Structure 1
Amino acid sequence: MCGRYTLTASPEEVRELFSYIEQSNFPPRYNIAPTQPIALVKNEHGQRHFALARWGFVPSWVKDPASFTLLINARAETLLEKPSFKAAIKHRRCLIPANGFYEWQRAVSAKQPYYISAANNQPLAFAGLWETWSHPEGGDIDTAAMITVEANEDMAPIHHRMPALLEPHQFDAWLDTGTVMAREAVTFLKPAPKGVLSFTPVSTRVNSASHDDEGLIREVELTEPKKPEPKPAKPPRKKKTGTDDGQLDLF
């Protein structure tokens, strides 16, 4: 699962990589959390477009989003079967620009967050899905989910899942829902190759979505977990049935 990520590249850098037609403008974000607006890139009428959507996918057939489970991730292995995603993988695929993401490794007494980013410091492209939910009384809201795959060899010691990353040469095919069928598109969704990501232990300040600053991605020193001190040995019990010489012990 991926529940927090960053987008710190400038609007110009993001537009250059994803080649959408809009002149977008957005601030750097260091702790993007579920239910917040996220940037995405989609294909409409043969052109790439920048858009915003709520992070938390809501299928169009849902009657009451408040009673529906918040879907921030979609497992690549089940996209073609899950009712929530079957339509979106066929018709509404997108790219989610990012610079990195956070994941928590379970330690002895607490979870240690790591910031995972490209080893070459370039922006990343997460594979995603989007959907428009229409309120019965009027009003639409675009929602999105990030697709995850099994962790690669580098990621596995921290967590068993990771976002599906796409390369620029795959962008057109992934976004082209008109000619690239869903069964072909899901073959792009694989764990990242070994060595393409870097892993940085960071402060637990990232645990709170209210924190959103550059300090969140700075490396912290890992401390060795303290080993429990051995308990002192208990003194031997006095024998109550008798002494070594066979005499009864009155005390």
Structure 2
Amino acid sequence: MCGRFSLITDVYALMRQYQFEFEGEYEARYNIAPGTDILAIASYGGKRVGGELRWGLIPFWADNEKIGYKMINARAETVHEKASFRQPLKSKRCLIPADGYFEWKREGKMKRPFRFVNKDNSPFVFAGLYDRWDKGERPIFSCTIITTAANEKTAEIHDRMPAILTPGQQDIWLDPTVSDSMALTSLLKPYPSEKMDFYEVSTLVNSARNEDRGLIAPINSK
């Protein structure tokens, strides 16, 4: 699964790299957790537009918004089959920028956190889906991050990883004229191991209340 990530890259650098418009508040975040609002990029009116979505997808048909806490991830292998994700896959796709994500390696009763990054420390984007829920006092726009099988490097720590899209895949993912489920899920492959690196970080990242630069500092060699 993908249950925590970071995004500290300057927003203007993100806008240049991913060619999207954005008007709103943005701050660096070292420990992004489910249930919070996160930056996402979608296609709107022929343009890429950035906005905030709550992490944890609430299907439009759900009776209670709390279902979102169970919907932080969607599996690439079954995303086209599940009722919660089937329709968003066809028409409500987004990119979720990050510059690192965390996974935990279980050793007995202990879990050691590791941060995964691009080797050149550049940001990347996860494949995401979003939906609008209108059964509360106000509309809620929410999203999920799609996961896929781990690449060789990630598999040292965990058997799943977020589906990271290359620039060409990003164009297809955001293209509103593309709705074929098989064509879309074919993009959701493990990111190349040779492009990634990872390192151990402090267990302070285990608590979503902690939020500072020290959370992304390496503490030990792998």
TM-score band, normalised by the shorter chain? over 0.9
Query: Counterpart in 2 of 1:193?
Result: 192
Q: Which moved more, 1:22-31 or 1:50-59?
A: 22-31
TM-score for the superposition, normalised by structure 1 = 0.84
Q: How does 1:115-154 map to 2 (within 5 A)?
A: 115-135=115-135, 138-154=137-153
**What displacement does 1:127 show?**
0.4
Larger % of strand: which? 2
Change (3 A) 1:24 1:195: farther
**What displacement does 1:18 show?**
1.2
Query: Counterpart in 2 of 1:13?
Result: 13
TM-score for the superposition, normalised by structure 2 = 0.95
State the one-letter code of the partner of 2:154. Answer: M
Query: CA deviation digits over 1:102-125, x for unaligned, max 9?
Result: 000012441110010111110011
Query: CA deviation digits over 1:133-187, x for unaligned, max 9?
Result: 0025x52000000000000111112000000000112222101132352321111
Query: Counterpart in 2 of 1:28?
Result: 28
Q: Is the 8 A contact 2:35 2:69 kept in 1?
A: no
State the one-letter code of the partner of 2:62. Answer: V
Change (3 A) 1:149 1:201: same
Query: Counterpart in 1 of 2:169?
Result: 170
Query: CA deviation digits over 1:39-64, x for unaligned, max 9?
Result: 00000121110010110111000012
Query: Counterpart in 2 of 1:45?
Result: 45
Query: Counterpart in 1 of 2:87?
Result: 87
Give distance in 2, aligned partners of 1:184 and 1:75.
Answer: 16
Give distance in 1, aligned partners of 2:111 and 2:80.
Answer: 33
Change (3 A) 1:82 1:180: closer
Structure 2 spans left out of the alignment, 5+ residues: none
Q: How many residues align?
A: 222
Q: Is the 8 A contact 1:58 1:70 kept in 2?
A: no
Change (3 A) 1:67 1:191: closer
Give distance in 2, aligned partners of 1:216 and 1:181.
Answer: 40
Give distance in 2, aligned partners of 1:179 and 1:117.
Answer: 30
State the one-letter code of the partner of 1:96. Answer: I
Give distance in 2, aligned partners of 1:181 and 1:23.
Answer: 31
Query: Counterpart in 2 of 1:231?
Result: none
Larger % of helix: which? 2
Change (3 A) 1:64 1:166: same
Q: Is the 8 A contact 1:62 1:68 kept in 2?
A: no
**What displacement does 1:214 show?**
0.7
Quote the sequence identity (%): 39
Query: CA deviation digits over 1:162-218, x for unaligned, max 9?
Result: 000001122221011323523211111000112111111010000011111110111
Q: Is the 8 A contact 2:3 2:102 kept in 1?
A: yes
**Aligned partner of residue 12 in structure 1, secondary structure:** helix
Q: Which moved more, 1:203-212 or 1:64-73?
A: 64-73
Q: Which runs of 4+ in 1 moved over 4 A?
A: none
Query: Counterpart in 1 of 2:216?
Result: 217
- For the aligned residue pairs, the C-alpha RMSD in angstroms reads 1.6
- Which structure has more RCO (C-alpha within 8 Å, separation ≥ 6)? 2
Give distance in 1, aligned partners of 2:23 and 2:64.
Answer: 34
Larger Rg: 1
Give distance in 1, aligned partners of 2:48 and 2:150.
Answer: 29
Query: CA deviation digits over 1:42-89, x for unaligned, max 9?
Result: 001211100101101110000122366521000000011101100000
Change (3 A) 1:174 1:3: same
State the one-letter code of the partner of 1:161. Answer: R
Q: Is the 8 A contact 2:90 2:178 kept in 1?
A: no
